[in-house]
Chain A
Amino acid sequence: MTVWKPTVLTRVLLGLAIFVSAFPLYWMLVIASRTNADAVASPPKFLPGGNLGDNIVRVLTHPEAQFLLGLTNSFIVASIVTVSVILISTLAGFAFANLNFKGRNALLLLVLLTMAVPLQQMGVVPLYRLMVSLEWTNTLKAVILPYLLNGFGVFLMTQYTRQSVPMELVEAARVDGAATLRIWWNVVLPAVRPGMAVLGINTFMLMWNDYMWPLIVLNQENPTVQIAINGLNARFSTEYSLIFAGTALSIIPLVLVFVLFGRQIVGGLMEGAVKA
């Protein structure tokens, strides 16, 4: 049996990789906890200062940024989209993986093709004009609607369901007289929960990070959190300690998700998505 032990070199390089991954986040905290004079000092100050609380209060009370509203809005948007994507993807994934119907393979291929279209960049003009004509600009509806579906989600859940729900189980349930929706609820959903977790985390992160589309359809009065960070960026003087405190606040929900579900992210990315 081959022994897969890391060499010293591997260990050193792994350590370096972890350091590089973590350093910018540490740096964010350093600057967020200092004054702006420190942020632009040379030589740079590498240790955190004592201004974190002060900076955070200034971020939250910033008159133009609407930071609290941005956090709330992002939370609403990301939650609704996540639930919708999970629902649509588990339903379609179940059908593609476990049910027989005419045109199944063609439809699944279509889903794969739609994954390659960068809708966000491609369809931005008509989507914007649609929102204008519906008078939905500056509302959360406009941000949410184009994201309710996700081809990657359907693909992921199809793969996942195929792996974790044996055909026999579905047929046994059918023999017992369960209707399709009931099988989905009672048999499939419990079995694909890890896949749902990965998809959910992924979608939540994607929505939390979305920048271009909210920038187009929202204004500074009703921002998502990324747009609110923009608002901290004063036109003439860039106050880094303030912006960094804002960015540090903006990643708290993601860090929480990561700490709570990190095991699933690593495990799930490793299990389902990309088996060929």
Chain B
Amino acid sequence: MSLDTLPRASRNTHRRERPPGRRWRSRLDVKAMPYALVSPYFLLFAAFGLFPLAFTLYYSLYDYDLTGTTEWAGLGNYTALLGDDDFWRATVNTVAMFLIATVPQMFLALFLANALNKHMRFRLPIRMSVLLPLVTSVVAVAVVFTQLFARDWGLVNYLLGLFGVDNTNWRAERVPSWIAIATMVDWRWTGYNAIIFLAGMQTIPRDLYEAASIDGASRRRQFWQITLPMLRPTMIFVVLNSTIGGLTLFSEPMTFYNGNPDGGSQGQFQTVAMFVYKEAFREFDYGYASAAAWLLFLLILIGAAINFLFVRRIGGTR
């Protein structure tokens, strides 16, 4: 993402003489107006971004109970969380679902983008159709997939049954529930990521490929040696986006259990975001929820850092 456009040489323009009042006003316009233009964003961010973040930190240092009494807790909430099996289970669930969803998704999206990058008839409608899942509302996706993954009469079990596989109780067991939820996430986002990869692919100069063909590099080799390394900036964007989205997963697992934040009878698919929601709005333990929210943020930072380092290595042999 480029921050590289430092002030482009501003030309010394010879202005026509203007009355002093107008000149003063136009100098003010040039000097102050830029700040006025960016200030709505920063003012709103202060109100609805900085303020909540700071207060989340503040709340996380207090103990709240149902009656609304507060008591200073210091880092008590954090240490309690680190010893809370439920929190750890939610963290493991979140990370596992994120991995199950994201890893295949990146490969699929890359492959799909590569296929969409070919010359063929009906190119635009084909490209648009892989974005179709994106227009479906999250809750609608989750509802449909919950039905598809139903135990006794779901289509997935029915199809697996044709191959002699016994019915899986997708909602009751841990790994199957992860797979079902990861499928929802992948169905919705793979095409979107493919289109973004495709955008990145189209900025790669064609003559690189031509030179490689002349040197006798196969198509597959060109993909690994040219496309992937040149795609790195796009990949950083996509991976970071998916990391933030994946680690804050909420709607799909919520809907998978009829809008209940427990994430299954044993919490088998409760995510950290659901844990925060449950502690805050069902247990009314604002302090505990806030501490969990900060740990979630920490998790995202760690995930982002790992991904960033990982992506930087892709094709890093150039």
Measured CB to CB, the residues of A under 8 A from B are 1-6, 10-11, 13-14, 17-18, 20-22, 24-25, 27-28, 31, 39-44, 87-89, 91-92, 94-97, 99-101, 104-105, 107-112, 114, 116-130, 145-146, 148-149, 151, 154-155, 159, 162, 167, 171, 174-175, 177, 179-181, 184, 205, 208-209, 211-212, 215-216, 225-226, 229-230, 233, 235, 238, 240, 243-244, 247-248, 250-251, 254-255, 257-258, 262-263, 265-266, 269-271, 273-276
Contact with A along B134-159 (1 / 0, CB 8 A): 11111111011101101011010010
When distances are taken between beta carbons in the complex, the residues of chain A under 8 Å from B127 are 266
Stretch from B42-50, B78-86, B168-176, B262-270 at the A interface: B42-50
The 3 closest A-B pairs by CB, nearest first: A123-B52, A276-B233, A126-B55
* A106: nearest chain-B partner, CB-CB: B3
B209: Cβ under 8 A from any A Cβ = yes
Q: Are B49 and A123 in contact (CB under 8 A)?
A: yes
When distances are taken between beta carbons in the complex, the residues of chain A under 8 Å from B132 are 21-22, 25, 258
Q: Are B137 and A94 in contact (CB under 8 A)?
A: no
**How far apart are A22's CB and chain B's nearest CB, in angstroms?**
6
Size category, B interface: 35 or more
When distances are taken between beta carbons in the complex, the residues of chain A under 8 Å from B236 are 276
Q: What separation, in Å, do the CA atoms of A119 and B135 have in the docked complex?
A: 23
Q: Are B153 and A40 in contact (CB under 8 A)?
A: yes
Q: What separation, in Å, do the CA atoms of A6 and B119 have in the docked complex?
A: 7
* B206: nearest chain-A partner, CB-CB: A2
**How far apart are B260's CB and chain A's nearest CB, in angstroms?**
10
For the complex, would chain B's binding face be called helix, strand, loop or mixed by DSSP majority?
helix
Q: What separation, in Å, do the CA atoms of A179 and B26 have in the docked complex?
A: 7
Q: A230-B259, A233-B259 are in contact. Are A208 and B137 (CB under 8 A)?
A: yes
When distances are taken between beta carbons in the complex, the residues of chain B under 8 Å from A108 are 3
Chain B CB within 10 Å, residue with most, of A21, A146, A175, A181: A21
When distances are taken between beta carbons in the complex, the residues of chain A under 8 Å from B206 are 2
Measured CB to CB, the residues of B under 8 A from A are 1-3, 5-8, 10-11, 13, 15, 18, 26, 29-31, 33-35, 37-38, 40-42, 44-45, 48-49, 51-53, 55-56, 59, 111-112, 115-120, 124, 126-141, 143-145, 147-148, 150, 152-153, 155, 158, 187, 191-192, 195-196, 198-200, 202-203, 206, 209-210, 213, 233-234, 236-238, 240, 244, 248, 250-251, 254, 258-259, 273, 276-277, 280-281, 286, 289-290, 293-294, 296-297, 300, 304
Q: Are A10 and B115 in contact (CB under 8 A)?
A: yes
